[in-house]
Amino acid sequence: MTDAQRAAEREIRAARARSNAAIARRDPDASVAEMAPDALVIASSGALVPNRAAMRDAFAHAFAETGFISFVRTPERLEISANAETAAEEGRWRSLWEPAAAGRERSGPYLARWTCRDGRWAIQSEVFIPV
């Protein structure tokens, strides 16, 4: 792995940690700060979230739900391109609402594509698969 790839991995992991922390604080603006404006998300429901603004609204809606507890993405593997301009992140996600016994806990694998634009890493797309 090159120095640029190692630096990219550190930056992406830090960005993911910031995003998870923002979700834990229920801050919809900070929750999407690591996303490109034109980022695409396929939610665990299969719904397409077409951009960062729509994802911000989805987070705001979830945070307003009385039973919302958490949503966390845990990276398990990062693969950085040779030119350190794009990266694939694989991991596990988990969401939880109260009461969990009512089927409000979901989890599964996810895949995120990161791109580096103007020296800044941003999420370009994410897919969440419930299993």
Q: Where are the domains of the chain?
A: 3-128
Pairwise CA distance, residues 94 & 31, whole Å: 15
Strands 35-42 and 48-49: antiparallel
**CATH number, domain 3-128:** 3.10.450.50
Q: What is the dihedral of CA 9, 12, 13, 15, to 10 degrees?
A: 160
Buried/exposed 40-63: b ≥16 CB within 10 Å, e otherwise: bbbebeeeebeebebbbebbeebe
- Angstrom CA distances, 111 to 24, 66, 91, stand at 21, 28, 7
pTM of model > 0.85: yes
- Tokens 């077409």 appear where? 50
Amino acid type, 49? V
Backbone φ, ψ for residue 26 (5° rounding): 60, 45
Q: What is the pLDDT of residues 63-79, one digit of tens each?
A: 998 888 899 999 999 99
- 28, two tokens: 């919809």
DSSP-derived secondary structure letter, 26:
T
Find the mean pLDDT for residues 102-111: 85
pLDDT tens-digit profile of 76-103?
999 999 999 999 999 999 998 887 556 6
